[in-house]
Structure 1
């Protein structure tokens, strides 16, 4: 009978530091690649790849190309998640890094529109699709490595290693663009924008080395679902739909808070360097806040931290924009720091919160498919929709604030509908349990 993976007894011996290097640092490298594309889309690509458009419209088109990568995310989550459940986490986590690193390096090698014409943006979109496919399988597997090897009362914290890795990757990516933005604009657009992409392709090799030393999962030859994702849909249909909603709401908020805000700062008169430094401050705050929020969820529960943090995040957007509009750098920095601290509340908990909804045999497929579907629907359109709303409201951010509020409402309602599982033993996650009324449900 085909072997399947049992997330592992040997892997459970991994220390917290080792687990962070495998899940958090690997994801940091992957999201470094992802964030530098988003920043390039806001700063450089309108001129390099879409020069026939007005600058603001060119930014909108560049964000649409950025969003194209999200189209492939659910497919990557399903395909890579399937093999992650069937043959093991380790091989899939190495594969995702190799694919992501290769496509990132090639983006840095692309000729501009002026050199290759329409073929240049077409190739850019194609490589974004490859990046999206890899990212679709990365997040779920890296999160599960932390969750499945954590002490029982630290699943939130160890699961948040991936979320902290997102912050670190964002910090590295933003820092790299901050440095090259110090160069004259003509040099930035001519060649310097390529350097962060080339660096990302090389740095991924470090992550591959770390993951090649992962413990090999123990396997069992017991009966296992032939197609894990279909089995999960049959067993956990409600959790699947609600998890998609959580991912949709969070990714919409996150990409408005990380990508659109770069464009917004520039539209309000901040220089490239200033807007990127604001992002650096936000990334530092996010990286510090994520494990704090995750640890809080280990003590008080996932749902209170996710729901209250999301509501505070959405409300703060109506304060964030006036703080940035004042063009006082200290207040603008405070705005970026606070928006990232609040964003860390749901993000720090989501890996464990979603992973705990599903049984071990289908967990990689389930968390990857649901999260990446939500990410495609929310994150893939967030920067484009926010920019379009900003233009539609004649450069007034009220439309973006309302859009953020709507996404927050979706996240809160779906999180409310999921079960609170922070006290359920890891071995029993996804098992049927009896409610007081005798109804059989799953945890």
Structure 2
């Protein structure tokens, strides 16, 4: 069977691929998710106790967002070396960085002990987390996509999307157990336990990724000197549109995984209730992401992405009134519905973005586009949503409008990208530019200069 983009297609079993691509990402994004959970529930008290609760939450989300602005740099650095020397080393390094920074966050003293140095160190470690996460997503996604059998790139690419959801489940479950055990008193000591556990769990993903080489270096003669520059020259439209999709989707994802938690607690739900909501949302994503990804393999990426964005946008206006009823059952169902339709976009995204670039620049192109969009969207989503809530005197309609605009961007950018679901990897790698010159040939001439 032919080999494309470093991996022999079909040579990896689905289980093996899922464990390396999905579970490795799950363990890494567990670390990412617990930070967002702590930012919503704990960090305002631990690191910003001198402020009123809502303003402290805004600052905590600001520290959370700081890590997003390190993600594009991580995507560029790890993408570059992933295209030049292969994926395995990059996947190992990202995992180690995430685990170490997470462990150290759990050891940080609070504001009451060292004053302003506490939030400053928190932001520094958050930047390291963001740098690592910037390189993780693209490499893990490509391991699944480039190993997939014909007609299953969307499904195998969604292993990474499932991993993100599984990371959310693990994070919510651990925080939930700790919250119950501490009688909802997370701020004293209990919040540290999930971070310490995250540092240990990373060893599992590291074991999987070190078992055998995940990737082989591309021969230098087919490699652009700077793959990202080659992608910007050859695919500027695709870079912009992929960035727009990432901006819109990650905005929604982090409204759902962080702002929704804070919003629920401000309505009077306990932190344990909020973690149940987050757990339910993550389970829904894990179940629906591969289903929608498989559907995109059959009917096309664009149709699934656009339909999911439209339904999600309409659902936002129903979500806040339902949660406002202050019924645990109704609110849990509302979170499940949000997670289910979030899977409609999260499932196909890895394959949809990867398929816009040929193999010589794929890691660099998709990682840079996705992480720039993630920084602009996810890095500001929780803070913007909280600021809207403050400005509108706790009227959540403004947040629903904000989310709908982000989803409209996802739909428009998806419509403007070419449909790639039924192209072979060979066709994608040899896709001609508008002037009729094969893209790979163009890259070899200009990108490797």
**Closer, same or farther in 2 for the Cα pair 1:128/1:87, shift >3 Å?**
same
Where in structure 2 are the equivalents of 1:207-246 lying within 5 Å? 207-219=205-217, 220-246=219-245
Q: What residue is the counterpart of 2:167 in the other structure?
A: 169
- The CA deviation at 1:266 is 0.9
**Closer, same or farther in 2 for the Cα pair 1:411/1:10, shift >3 Å?**
closer
* Offset from partner CA, 1:2-49 (integer Å, 9 cap, x none): xxx963355741100000000000000011000100000000000100
Q: What residue is the counterpart of 2:157 in the other structure?
A: 159
Q: What residue is the counterpart of 2:189 in the other structure?
A: 191
- Write the distance in 2 (CA, Å) between the matches of 1:246 and 1:365: 17
Residue 23 of structure 1 is aligned with which of 16, 21, 24? 21
- Write the distance in 1 (CA, Å) between the matches of 2:379 and 2:416: 24
- Write the distance in 1 (CA, Å) between the matches of 2:227 and 2:423: 22
- The CA deviation at 1:180 is 1.3
- The CA deviation at 1:441 is 8.3
- Write the distance in 2 (CA, Å) between the matches of 1:100 and 1:199: 13
**Contact persistence 1:10–1:218 (CA under 8 A):** no
- Write the distance in 2 (CA, Å) between the matches of 1:282 and 1:257: 8
**Contact persistence 1:11–1:217 (CA under 8 A):** no
Q: What residue is the counterpart of 2:95 in the other structure?
A: 97
Q: What residue is the counterpart of 1:179 in the other structure?
A: 177
- Write the distance in 1 (CA, Å) between the matches of 2:78 and 2:6: 19
Residue 52 of structure 1 is aligned with which of 30, 50, 53? 50
Residue 65 of structure 1 is aligned with which of 63, 66, 70? 63
**Contact persistence 1:309–1:343 (CA under 8 A):** yes
- The CA deviation at 1:252 is 0.6
Secondary structure of 1:153's counterpart equals coil
- Write the distance in 2 (CA, Å) between the matches of 1:34 and 1:288: 20
* Offset from partner CA, 1:280-331 (integer Å, 9 cap, x none): 1111111111110100000010000001001101110100111111112221
**Contact persistence 2:222–2:360 (CA under 8 A):** no
* Offset from partner CA, 1:406-428 (integer Å, 9 cap, x none): 11111111111111000110122
Q: What residue is the counterpart of 1:287 in the other structure?
A: 286
- Write the distance in 2 (CA, Å) between the matches of 1:392 and 1:15: 52
**Contact persistence 2:67–2:131 (CA under 8 A):** yes
- Write the distance in 1 (CA, Å) between the matches of 2:216 and 2:298: 30
Structure 2: unaligned runs, 5 residues or longer: 441-449
- The CA deviation at 1:188 is 1.9
**Contact persistence 1:282–1:337 (CA under 8 A):** yes
* Offset from partner CA, 1:226-245 (integer Å, 9 cap, x none): 00000110111110000000
Q: What residue is the counterpart of 1:88 in the other structure?
A: 86
Q: What residue is the counterpart of 1:309 in the other structure?
A: 308
**Contact persistence 1:310–1:408 (CA under 8 A):** yes
* Offset from partner CA, 1:319-354 (integer Å, 9 cap, x none): 011111111222111100000001110100000000
Q: What residue is the counterpart of 2:447 in the other structure?
A: none
**Contact persistence 1:6–1:218 (CA under 8 A):** no
**Contact persistence 2:165–2:282 (CA under 8 A):** yes
Secondary structure of 1:241's counterpart equals helix
- Write the distance in 1 (CA, Å) between the matches of 2:301 and 2:8: 27
Where in structure 2 are the equivalents of 1:24-423 lying within 5 Å? 24-184=22-182, 187-219=185-217, 220-423=219-422
Question: Could you tell me the TM-score, scaled by structure 1's length?
Answer: 0.96
Secondary structure of 2:221's counterpart equals coil
Secondary structure of 2:432's counterpart equals strand
Q: Which range moves more in the overlay, 300-309 or 221-230?
A: 221-230
CA root-mean-square deviation:
1.7
**Contact persistence 1:11–1:215 (CA under 8 A):** no
Secondary structure of 1:181's counterpart equals helix
**Contact persistence 2:7–2:146 (CA under 8 A):** no
Question: Could you tell me the TM-score, scaled by structure 2's length?
Answer: 0.94
**Closer, same or farther in 2 for the Cα pair 1:282/1:433, shift >3 Å?**
same
* Offset from partner CA, 1:235-275 (integer Å, 9 cap, x none): 11110000000000001111111111101111111111111
**Contact persistence 1:22–1:214 (CA under 8 A):** no
**Closer, same or farther in 2 for the Cα pair 1:55/1:185, shift >3 Å?**
farther
- Write the distance in 2 (CA, Å) between the matches of 1:216 and 1:151: 17
Secondary structure of 2:331's counterpart equals helix
**Contact persistence 2:6–2:86 (CA under 8 A):** no
